[in-house]
Chains A and B, each alone.
Chain A
Amino acid sequence: MAKAKMLTGCRAAAEGAKAAEVEVICSYPIRPYTAIMMELAKMVANGELNAEFVHGEGEHAQLSVVLGACAAGARAYTGSSGVGVTYAMELYSPMAGGRYPVQMTIADRTLDPPGDFGSEHTDAMCTRDNGWLLGWACSPQEVYDNTLIAYRVGEDHRVMLPQMVCQDGYFISHIPDKVTLGEMSQVKEFLPPYRPIGPLSLTHPVSHGPQIRPDQGAPMDAMRAQTFLAVPKVIEEATADFNRIFGRNYDPFVEQYKLADAEIAFFIMGAHSNTCRTAVDRLRKQGVKAGMARLRWVRPWPTHQLATALGHVKAIGVVETSTSYGGAMRGGNLIHELRASLYDLDERPLVTSFMGGLGGETIWPADFDNMAKVLTQAVKEKKVRNYVQWLGM
């Protein structure tokens, strides 16, 4: 097996795309994801990767170019960060509705204002209701791995959906960590070539995307909803294959860290889970039965897996790194869906949330200690005092 190298998340994403032999790439500069495109540009220039590298004139164009490329049968790749993700908003629904399994890699960045390079998940979270597969990595290794897993799932004929592969800006995108790249034989075994369904062709004329009658809308939407019901099985298969072929150990949906006997738990995704794991270890040493559940996929949302993994916990603190101003829980996004996932349990855990890491701020071990205090208190009082608290304020 290949030796581990020290790579940033950006480099790892580019290596993943190269391993997937992407064929049409469309770029536009915005930090911090830019470094992914800079790496790919070099690979194409050096002849290491046989691909068309198209300089998009904006993110809207990036998505449009890869949509066209995918419709014409190419494996296509693009990416963005922050306001770049939202500038392309028009294209997310046609991409998913047209069942074009392109991949968009995202290094999260805070949305304006204020101008800020730090990671916040709101950029990609804004797109979550448009029918894409959406998930977060917590290390450069996982970025590489998710790039391959997402293509395999998205291009599966039971799925045929675009994928957003996210990593936190800076924390993952720009800090090198150990990454073991796959051998070409492993990649070939895991990821078959893209087999488009009804691509634009000269020999078999097709029409992509005609209008419908209103009564044709509901059945089409229902078909997509049905597809999403089928996705979890495909993710499970792909993850199992990936683990076997590459010698990894991923839970398909939720990383469960010291959860089995936990009384309090952090629910988290992305980079800050690394600090969280250390914090859990420390709390354990102090006699606090803490654990962590780290979400790998937001779409499809693993409702039942979460209920199973977290049902026995007494109090859960959702660490939110995205905003949902005016939402039901007055803070972030994840708590809404987590609470909904637990609602049907006979005995429900208490659930509160913490706004942290906004603007790219670090969440420190001490912050987790404070969150643990709030959760322990909730257990004692058998209720949560607040839906949300803002860390450090």
Chain B
Amino acid sequence: MLRQTTLFLGYELRNTLRNPIWPLFGLLQPVLYLLLFAPLVANTAAGGSQADTLLQFTPGVMMMIALFGSLFVGFGMISEIRNGYLERLAVSQTWRPAIVLGRTLRDMIVLVVQALLLVALAWAMGLRASVPGLALMLLLMAATGLLASGLSYGMALALRDENGMSQIMQFFALPLILLTGIMLPMSLAPDWMQAIAQFNPLYHAVEAGRALFAGDFSNGSIPLAFALTLALGALTMAWSVSSMRKLAG
């Protein structure tokens, strides 16, 4: 089982490395946010120095890659269902969960690499964050990636339809982002919005990210964010793995 998972992981990683342009392209948007939005926020009344703004802003952008980098991974799987690739794997001696697990691990590795590149850029722009905090933040990102990948593969296997899937994601993406405080801190939001945000796991992840960057390890949002994303991640993974098991027959 472990052997098969690593086989699929290796296979998918080689696929990614053969075309590294796409994960790099995926970084473009968060990089633009950093380059353009951070100075903008720093100029408003809410912001302080560029370094302070980056400390607030970078964790949000990292969570944005974690979410959007991974939410779309399932699309490829739909065409693989259609062209019979998954069906063929299903009648081979494949341990089916390995198909999803290998991919999810790949997605998490890609995420961490993207995050490191992004942090390097932010550092060059003046970010100075707590290093152990940063390491924990990478872990939290990987856990968020697990959640989003699991959700994406689960949706792909359940819906088997690109149109339906993109409609659903459109529907959830905007409120999820707005209620996360990636762009602007939630402290600027009215009370009712802040209340709703409590139910958004990403909100806690971003809050935890800010605490980690600031080196404020006693902040209650950190264990809360880890517990929430890991629990939800386990849930979505279980969903996609069980859909994969039922793939056919």
A and B found bound together = no
Residues on A close to B: CB < 8 A?
none
